[in-house]
Amino acid sequence: MDLLIKNCRIVDETKDMQGDIYIKDGKIAHYGENINVECNTIDGTGLLAMPSFIDMHAHFRDPGYTYKEDLYTGSKSALKGGYTFVNLMANTNPVCSNMDIVEYVLNKSKELDLIDIHQTVSITKDFDGKTLDHLDQIDNRVKFISDDGMGVQSNLTMYKAMLKAREKGLIIIAHEEDEEIVAIDTRLSENVMTLRDIYLSSLTGGRLHLAHVSTKESIEAIRRGKKEGIKISCEVTPHHVALYSNDYRVNPPIREKEDVEALIEGIMDGTVDAIATDHAPHSLDDKKRGAPGISGLETAFSICYTSLVRTNIISLNRLSQLMSATPGKLMGINKGKIKEGYDGDIVLVDLDKKLIVRGEEFVSKGKNTPFEGMEFYGKVMATFRKGELKYNGGIKVDNR
Protein backbone atom coordinates (compact mmCIF):
# COMPACT_ATOMS: atom_id res chain seq x y z
CA MET A 1 0.00 0.00 0.00
CA ASP A 2 1.60 3.26 -1.21
CA LEU A 3 0.61 6.54 0.40
CA LEU A 4 1.85 10.12 0.27
CA ILE A 5 0.92 12.59 3.01
CA LYS A 6 1.71 16.13 1.87
CA ASN A 7 2.29 19.45 3.63
CA CYS A 8 1.93 18.28 7.23
CA ARG A 9 3.77 19.06 10.42
CA ILE A 10 5.88 15.98 11.19
CA VAL A 11 6.65 15.22 14.83
CA ASP A 12 8.17 12.24 16.59
CA GLU A 13 10.51 11.96 19.57
CA THR A 14 13.39 13.72 17.79
CA LYS A 15 11.97 15.80 14.94
CA ASP A 16 9.54 18.67 14.41
CA MET A 17 9.37 19.82 10.80
CA GLN A 18 7.12 20.63 7.87
CA GLY A 19 7.07 18.21 5.00
CA ASP A 20 5.78 15.06 3.37
CA ILE A 21 5.78 11.37 4.29
CA TYR A 22 5.93 8.65 1.63
CA ILE A 23 4.93 5.13 2.61
CA LYS A 24 5.72 2.28 0.20
CA ASP A 25 4.84 -1.38 0.72
CA GLY A 26 3.71 -0.61 4.25
CA LYS A 27 7.02 1.00 5.32
CA ILE A 28 8.14 4.60 5.59
CA ALA A 29 10.24 5.00 2.45
CA HIS A 30 11.04 8.68 2.74
CA TYR A 31 10.10 11.86 4.53
CA GLY A 32 11.11 15.43 3.75
CA GLU A 33 10.15 18.33 1.54
CA ASN A 34 8.67 18.27 -1.95
CA ILE A 35 8.17 14.54 -2.34
CA ASN A 36 6.13 13.79 -5.44
CA VAL A 37 4.88 10.29 -6.22
CA GLU A 38 1.83 9.12 -8.16
CA CYS A 39 -0.14 7.24 -5.49
CA ASN A 40 -2.92 7.76 -2.94
CA THR A 41 -2.28 11.29 -1.67
CA ILE A 42 -3.55 13.19 1.32
CA ASP A 43 -3.24 16.92 1.82
CA GLY A 44 -2.06 17.26 5.41
CA THR A 45 -2.16 21.08 5.47
CA GLY A 46 -2.97 22.21 9.00
CA LEU A 47 -2.56 18.70 10.40
CA LEU A 48 0.05 17.08 12.61
CA ALA A 49 1.52 13.72 11.55
CA MET A 50 2.95 11.57 14.34
CA PRO A 51 3.88 7.91 14.68
CA SER A 52 0.67 6.14 15.67
CA PHE A 53 0.38 5.45 19.38
CA ILE A 54 1.40 2.23 21.11
CA ASP A 55 -0.39 1.13 24.27
CA MET A 56 1.59 -0.88 26.79
CA HIS A 57 -1.52 -1.78 28.78
CA ALA A 58 -5.09 -2.53 27.65
CA HIS A 59 -7.92 -4.96 28.26
CA PHE A 60 -10.04 -6.21 25.34
CA ARG A 61 -11.89 -8.83 27.49
CA ASP A 62 -11.61 -11.50 24.79
CA PRO A 63 -12.04 -14.41 25.46
CA GLY A 64 -14.64 -14.67 28.18
CA TYR A 65 -15.98 -11.17 28.86
CA THR A 66 -16.97 -10.05 25.39
CA TYR A 67 -20.10 -8.32 26.65
CA LYS A 68 -17.64 -5.69 27.98
CA GLU A 69 -15.38 -5.56 24.90
CA ASP A 70 -14.07 -7.86 22.17
CA LEU A 71 -11.15 -7.82 19.78
CA TYR A 72 -13.16 -6.09 17.06
CA THR A 73 -14.61 -3.26 19.17
CA GLY A 74 -11.35 -2.85 21.10
CA SER A 75 -9.37 -2.58 17.88
CA LYS A 76 -11.81 -0.06 16.39
CA SER A 77 -11.63 1.94 19.62
CA ALA A 78 -7.83 1.91 19.41
CA LEU A 79 -7.84 3.18 15.84
CA LYS A 80 -10.22 6.02 16.70
CA GLY A 81 -7.75 7.05 19.39
CA GLY A 82 -4.75 6.88 17.03
CA TYR A 83 -3.36 3.52 18.21
CA THR A 84 -2.19 0.74 15.89
CA PHE A 85 -0.52 -1.51 18.46
CA VAL A 86 -1.76 -2.58 21.89
CA ASN A 87 -0.50 -4.93 24.56
CA LEU A 88 -3.37 -6.90 26.09
CA MET A 89 -3.45 -8.12 29.67
CA ALA A 90 -4.05 -11.73 30.72
CA ASN A 91 -7.15 -11.36 32.91
CA THR A 92 -9.47 -12.98 30.38
CA ASN A 93 -11.68 -16.03 31.00
CA PRO A 94 -9.98 -18.42 30.94
CA VAL A 95 -6.90 -16.56 32.14
CA CYS A 96 -4.26 -16.34 29.42
CA SER A 97 -1.83 -18.85 30.89
CA ASN A 98 -1.03 -20.85 27.74
CA MET A 99 -0.19 -20.47 24.08
CA ASP A 100 -3.62 -21.69 22.96
CA ILE A 101 -5.18 -18.43 24.18
CA VAL A 102 -2.29 -16.39 22.79
CA GLU A 103 -2.83 -18.03 19.41
CA TYR A 104 -6.58 -17.44 19.60
CA VAL A 105 -6.05 -13.71 20.19
CA LEU A 106 -3.31 -13.32 17.58
CA ASN A 107 -5.18 -15.32 14.92
CA LYS A 108 -8.43 -13.42 15.50
CA SER A 109 -6.57 -10.13 15.35
CA LYS A 110 -4.88 -11.17 12.10
CA GLU A 111 -8.28 -12.04 10.59
CA LEU A 112 -9.69 -8.66 11.60
CA ASP A 113 -6.66 -6.92 10.09
CA LEU A 114 -7.24 -3.70 12.04
CA ILE A 115 -4.35 -3.24 14.49
CA ASP A 116 -1.35 -5.22 15.72
CA ILE A 117 -1.59 -6.92 19.09
CA HIS A 118 0.68 -8.49 21.69
CA GLN A 119 -0.97 -10.84 24.17
CA THR A 120 0.52 -10.94 27.66
CA VAL A 121 0.64 -14.25 29.54
CA SER A 122 -0.07 -14.47 33.27
CA ILE A 123 2.86 -14.65 35.69
CA THR A 124 1.14 -17.35 37.75
CA LYS A 125 -1.02 -20.05 36.19
CA ASP A 126 -4.68 -19.01 36.21
CA PHE A 127 -3.71 -16.22 38.64
CA ASP A 128 -3.29 -18.80 41.42
CA GLY A 129 -0.47 -16.74 42.93
CA LYS A 130 2.09 -19.56 43.06
CA THR A 131 2.40 -21.79 39.96
CA LEU A 132 5.01 -20.80 37.36
CA ASP A 133 5.45 -24.05 35.39
CA HIS A 134 3.38 -22.79 32.45
CA LEU A 135 6.04 -20.17 31.68
CA ASP A 136 8.31 -22.93 30.34
CA GLN A 137 5.79 -23.56 27.54
CA ILE A 138 5.53 -20.03 26.12
CA ASP A 139 7.43 -19.13 22.97
CA ASN A 140 9.11 -15.98 21.67
CA ARG A 141 5.81 -14.41 20.58
CA VAL A 142 5.35 -13.52 24.25
CA LYS A 143 7.46 -10.65 25.57
CA PHE A 144 5.56 -9.74 28.76
CA ILE A 145 4.07 -11.60 31.69
CA SER A 146 1.67 -10.02 34.18
CA ASP A 147 -0.97 -10.83 36.77
CA ASP A 148 -2.43 -7.38 36.20
CA GLY A 149 -5.65 -6.86 38.09
CA MET A 150 -4.37 -8.73 41.12
CA GLY A 151 -0.63 -8.57 41.63
CA VAL A 152 1.59 -11.35 42.94
CA GLN A 153 1.21 -11.46 46.72
CA SER A 154 3.89 -14.03 47.58
CA ASN A 155 7.43 -12.69 47.92
CA LEU A 156 8.86 -16.10 47.05
CA THR A 157 6.69 -16.47 43.95
CA MET A 158 7.68 -13.03 42.67
CA TYR A 159 11.34 -13.80 43.37
CA LYS A 160 11.11 -17.00 41.33
CA ALA A 161 9.15 -15.22 38.60
CA MET A 162 11.91 -12.61 38.30
CA LEU A 163 14.50 -15.37 37.87
CA LYS A 164 12.34 -17.05 35.24
CA ALA A 165 11.81 -13.74 33.43
CA ARG A 166 15.55 -13.16 33.31
CA GLU A 167 16.14 -16.70 32.03
CA LYS A 168 13.58 -16.38 29.24
CA GLY A 169 14.19 -12.72 28.36
CA LEU A 170 10.73 -11.61 29.50
CA ILE A 171 9.59 -8.35 31.07
CA ILE A 172 7.33 -8.54 34.12
CA ILE A 173 4.53 -5.97 34.12
CA ALA A 174 3.72 -5.57 37.80
CA HIS A 175 0.37 -4.58 39.26
CA GLU A 176 1.47 -3.23 42.63
CA GLU A 177 -1.23 -3.97 45.19
CA ASP A 178 -0.90 -5.65 48.58
CA GLU A 179 -4.29 -7.28 49.08
CA GLU A 180 -3.93 -7.45 52.87
CA ILE A 181 -3.30 -3.72 53.12
CA VAL A 182 -5.41 -2.27 50.31
CA ALA A 183 -8.68 -2.15 52.28
CA ILE A 184 -6.93 -0.10 54.97
CA ASP A 185 -4.66 2.12 52.86
CA THR A 186 -4.49 1.99 49.06
CA ARG A 187 -1.41 4.21 49.00
CA LEU A 188 0.54 1.99 51.37
CA SER A 189 -0.63 -1.03 49.40
CA GLU A 190 0.92 0.29 46.18
CA ASN A 191 4.07 1.64 47.78
CA VAL A 192 5.00 -1.51 49.71
CA MET A 193 4.71 -3.73 46.65
CA THR A 194 6.57 -1.23 44.46
CA LEU A 195 9.52 -1.20 46.86
CA ARG A 196 9.50 -5.00 47.07
CA ASP A 197 9.56 -5.52 43.34
CA ILE A 198 12.24 -2.91 42.66
CA TYR A 199 14.41 -4.67 45.23
CA LEU A 200 13.70 -8.10 43.69
CA SER A 201 14.55 -6.75 40.25
CA SER A 202 17.84 -5.43 41.62
CA LEU A 203 18.56 -8.75 43.32
CA THR A 204 17.72 -11.03 40.39
CA GLY A 205 18.42 -8.92 37.31
CA GLY A 206 14.87 -9.58 36.13
CA ARG A 207 13.32 -6.89 33.92
CA LEU A 208 10.49 -5.05 35.67
CA HIS A 209 7.90 -2.67 34.22
CA LEU A 210 5.66 -1.00 36.79
CA ALA A 211 2.09 -0.55 35.63
CA HIS A 212 -0.18 2.45 36.26
CA VAL A 213 2.07 4.15 38.84
CA SER A 214 -0.05 6.58 40.85
CA THR A 215 1.70 7.73 44.05
CA LYS A 216 4.45 10.24 44.72
CA GLU A 217 6.29 7.67 46.85
CA SER A 218 6.31 5.06 44.08
CA ILE A 219 7.64 7.55 41.52
CA GLU A 220 10.42 8.53 43.90
CA ALA A 221 11.31 4.87 44.49
CA ILE A 222 11.48 4.27 40.72
CA ARG A 223 13.65 7.37 40.29
CA ARG A 224 16.08 6.08 42.92
CA GLY A 225 16.10 2.61 41.41
CA LYS A 226 16.94 3.93 37.97
CA LYS A 227 19.79 6.02 39.36
CA GLU A 228 21.14 2.83 40.92
CA GLY A 229 21.08 1.13 37.53
CA ILE A 230 18.23 -1.28 38.22
CA LYS A 231 16.52 -2.60 35.06
CA ILE A 232 13.11 -1.03 35.58
CA SER A 233 10.67 1.01 33.55
CA CYS A 234 7.25 2.43 34.34
CA GLU A 235 4.04 3.83 32.91
CA VAL A 236 1.44 6.34 34.05
CA THR A 237 -2.11 6.72 32.76
CA PRO A 238 -3.87 9.81 31.36
CA HIS A 239 -6.43 9.73 34.15
CA HIS A 240 -3.79 9.68 36.90
CA VAL A 241 -2.06 12.65 35.26
CA ALA A 242 -5.14 14.76 34.47
CA LEU A 243 -7.36 14.14 37.52
CA TYR A 244 -7.03 14.36 41.29
CA SER A 245 -9.34 14.19 44.30
CA ASN A 246 -11.85 12.34 42.13
CA ASP A 247 -13.77 9.32 43.44
CA TYR A 248 -14.43 7.68 40.05
CA ARG A 249 -13.82 3.97 40.64
CA VAL A 250 -10.50 2.88 39.17
CA ASN A 251 -7.62 0.72 40.42
CA PRO A 252 -5.28 2.18 41.55
CA PRO A 253 -7.46 5.08 42.69
CA ILE A 254 -7.19 8.59 41.33
CA ARG A 255 -4.89 10.24 43.85
CA GLU A 256 -4.30 13.71 45.27
CA LYS A 257 -2.91 16.84 43.66
CA GLU A 258 0.54 16.28 45.16
CA ASP A 259 0.65 12.85 43.49
CA VAL A 260 -0.28 14.32 40.11
CA GLU A 261 2.50 16.88 40.55
CA ALA A 262 4.94 14.08 41.34
CA LEU A 263 3.88 12.07 38.27
CA ILE A 264 4.30 15.15 36.09
CA GLU A 265 7.74 15.76 37.58
CA GLY A 266 8.55 12.15 36.68
CA ILE A 267 7.37 12.77 33.13
CA MET A 268 9.52 15.89 32.91
CA ASP A 269 12.72 14.36 34.29
CA GLY A 270 12.51 11.04 32.41
CA THR A 271 11.57 8.82 35.34
CA VAL A 272 8.34 7.92 33.52
CA ASP A 273 8.92 5.87 30.38
CA ALA A 274 5.46 5.58 28.88
CA ILE A 275 1.88 6.75 29.02
CA ALA A 276 -0.45 3.74 28.88
CA THR A 277 -4.23 3.85 28.88
CA ASP A 278 -5.11 0.85 31.09
CA HIS A 279 -8.18 0.72 28.84
CA ALA A 280 -10.65 -1.19 31.01
CA PRO A 281 -14.15 -1.25 29.48
CA HIS A 282 -17.13 -2.37 31.55
CA SER A 283 -20.85 -2.69 31.05
CA LEU A 284 -23.08 -0.14 32.73
CA ASP A 285 -24.31 -2.78 35.17
CA ASP A 286 -20.75 -3.78 36.10
CA LYS A 287 -19.82 -0.16 36.78
CA LYS A 288 -22.89 0.24 38.96
CA ARG A 289 -21.69 -2.80 40.92
CA GLY A 290 -18.35 -1.08 41.49
CA ALA A 291 -16.11 -2.58 38.78
CA PRO A 292 -12.95 -0.44 38.58
CA GLY A 293 -11.83 0.88 35.23
CA ILE A 294 -11.89 3.53 32.52
CA SER A 295 -12.46 3.17 28.80
CA GLY A 296 -9.44 5.20 27.74
CA LEU A 297 -8.16 4.53 24.23
CA GLU A 298 -10.32 7.09 22.41
CA THR A 299 -9.47 10.02 24.67
CA ALA A 300 -5.83 9.40 25.71
CA PHE A 301 -4.01 11.64 23.24
CA SER A 302 -6.38 14.58 23.61
CA ILE A 303 -6.19 14.43 27.41
CA CYS A 304 -2.39 14.20 27.42
CA TYR A 305 -1.90 16.87 24.77
CA THR A 306 -4.20 19.30 26.57
CA SER A 307 -2.88 18.55 30.07
CA LEU A 308 0.82 18.34 29.29
CA VAL A 309 1.68 20.07 26.01
CA ARG A 310 -0.75 22.99 25.77
CA THR A 311 0.21 23.86 29.36
CA ASN A 312 3.90 23.95 28.30
CA ILE A 313 4.89 21.19 30.71
CA ILE A 314 6.44 19.02 27.99
CA SER A 315 6.98 19.22 24.24
CA LEU A 316 5.16 17.30 21.55
CA ASN A 317 8.43 15.44 21.01
CA ARG A 318 8.37 14.17 24.58
CA LEU A 319 4.70 13.22 24.30
CA SER A 320 5.47 11.24 21.15
CA GLN A 321 8.30 9.53 23.00
CA LEU A 322 5.95 8.57 25.85
CA MET A 323 3.10 7.38 23.63
CA SER A 324 5.01 5.85 20.71
CA ALA A 325 8.81 5.60 20.68
CA THR A 326 9.56 4.16 24.12
CA PRO A 327 6.60 1.74 24.15
CA GLY A 328 7.78 0.55 20.71
CA LYS A 329 11.30 0.08 22.05
CA LEU A 330 10.12 -1.80 25.14
CA MET A 331 8.02 -4.08 22.93
CA GLY A 332 10.82 -4.58 20.42
CA ILE A 333 8.67 -3.62 17.43
CA ASN A 334 9.37 -1.65 14.27
CA LYS A 335 6.95 1.13 15.16
CA GLY A 336 6.91 4.38 17.10
CA LYS A 337 9.12 6.65 14.98
CA ILE A 338 8.88 8.46 11.68
CA LYS A 339 11.99 6.90 10.25
CA GLU A 340 12.84 5.21 6.98
CA GLY A 341 12.27 1.46 7.26
CA TYR A 342 9.80 1.73 10.12
CA ASP A 343 6.21 0.58 9.67
CA GLY A 344 4.02 3.18 7.99
CA ASP A 345 1.84 3.61 11.08
CA ILE A 346 0.84 7.26 11.21
CA VAL A 347 -1.79 9.29 13.03
CA LEU A 348 -3.03 12.64 11.72
CA VAL A 349 -4.22 15.08 14.37
CA ASP A 350 -5.87 18.49 14.28
CA LEU A 351 -4.40 20.19 17.33
CA ASP A 352 -6.88 23.07 17.19
CA LYS A 353 -9.97 20.88 17.01
CA LYS A 354 -11.73 20.18 20.28
CA LEU A 355 -12.85 16.76 21.45
CA ILE A 356 -15.89 16.80 23.73
CA VAL A 357 -15.92 13.52 25.63
CA ARG A 358 -19.22 11.68 25.37
CA GLY A 359 -19.10 8.07 26.47
CA GLU A 360 -22.16 7.17 24.43
CA GLU A 361 -20.18 8.05 21.27
CA PHE A 362 -17.30 5.69 22.09
CA VAL A 363 -16.68 2.89 19.61
CA SER A 364 -15.72 0.76 22.60
CA LYS A 365 -18.48 -1.24 24.25
CA GLY A 366 -17.32 0.36 27.47
CA LYS A 367 -18.81 3.84 27.89
CA ASN A 368 -17.17 4.30 31.31
CA THR A 369 -15.22 7.55 31.61
CA PRO A 370 -14.65 10.16 34.33
CA PHE A 371 -14.12 12.75 31.59
CA GLU A 372 -17.76 12.87 30.48
CA GLY A 373 -18.62 16.28 29.02
CA MET A 374 -15.08 17.66 29.32
CA GLU A 375 -13.38 19.40 26.39
CA PHE A 376 -9.85 18.67 25.23
CA TYR A 377 -7.77 19.85 22.28
CA GLY A 378 -6.20 17.59 19.70
CA LYS A 379 -8.61 15.42 17.74
CA VAL A 380 -7.48 12.34 15.85
CA MET A 381 -8.49 12.82 12.20
CA ALA A 382 -7.03 9.65 10.67
CA THR A 383 -5.07 6.54 11.62
CA PHE A 384 -2.96 4.58 9.15
CA ARG A 385 -1.48 1.13 9.68
CA LYS A 386 1.26 0.16 7.24
CA GLY A 387 0.08 2.89 4.91
CA GLU A 388 -3.55 1.77 4.90
CA LEU A 389 -6.26 4.12 6.16
CA LYS A 390 -7.89 2.27 9.06
CA TYR A 391 -9.77 5.15 10.68
CA ASN A 392 -11.08 8.23 8.91
CA GLY A 393 -12.32 11.06 11.09
CA GLY A 394 -12.94 13.43 8.22
CA ILE A 395 -9.99 13.62 5.82
CA LYS A 396 -10.10 13.37 2.02
CA VAL A 397 -7.93 11.01 -0.03
CA ASP A 398 -6.90 12.00 -3.55
CA ASN A 399 -6.72 8.66 -5.37
CA ARG A 400 -3.99 9.54 -7.83
User: Please, where are the H alpha helices in the chain?
Assistant: 71-80, 99-112, 155-168, 186-204, 216-227, 238-242, 257-269, 284-288, 300-304, 316-320, 326-331
**What's the domain range around 82?**
52-331
Closest-CA residue to 325 (of 315, 339, 334, 336)? 336
How many whole angstroms separate alpha carbon 204 and alpha carbon 234? 18
Please check whether residues 288 and 394 belong to one and the same domain. no
Running DSSP on this structure, what letter comes out for residue 307?
I
Q: Which of 273, 303, 331 is the last residue of a domain?
A: 331
- CATH number of the domain bearing residue 121: 3.20.20.140
Please check whether residues 225 and 369 belong to one and the same domain. no
Q: Which phi and psi angles does 314 have, rounded to 5°?
A: -135, 170
pLDDT tens across the length of the chain (400 residues)? 799 999 999 999 999 999 999 999 999 999 999 999 999 999 999 999 999 999 999 999 999 999 999 999 999 999 999 999 999 999 999 999 999 999 999 999 999 999 999 999 999 999 999 999 999 999 999 999 999 998 999 999 999 999 999 999 999 999 999 999 999 999 999 999 999 999 999 999 999 999 999 999 999 999 999 999 999 999 999 999 999 999 999 999 999 999 999 999 999 999 999 999 999 999 999 999 999 999 999 999 999 999 999 999 999 999 999 999 999 999 999 999 999 999 999 999 999 999 999 999 999 999 999 999 999 999 999 999 999 999 999 998 876 5
Please check whether residues 58 and 43 belong to one and the same domain. no
pTM score of the predicted model: 0.97
Whether 336 is in a domain gets the answer no
In the chain, the number of structural domains is: 2
The residues carrying an active-site annotation are: 278
Please check whether residues 289 and 356 belong to one and the same domain. no
Please check whether residues 129 and 244 belong to one and the same domain. yes
Please check whether residues 379 and 301 belong to one and the same domain. no
Whether 296 is in a domain gets the answer yes
Please check whether residues 131 and 255 belong to one and the same domain. yes
Whether 338 is in a domain gets the answer no
Is 325:337 a contact under the CB 8 Å cutoff?
yes
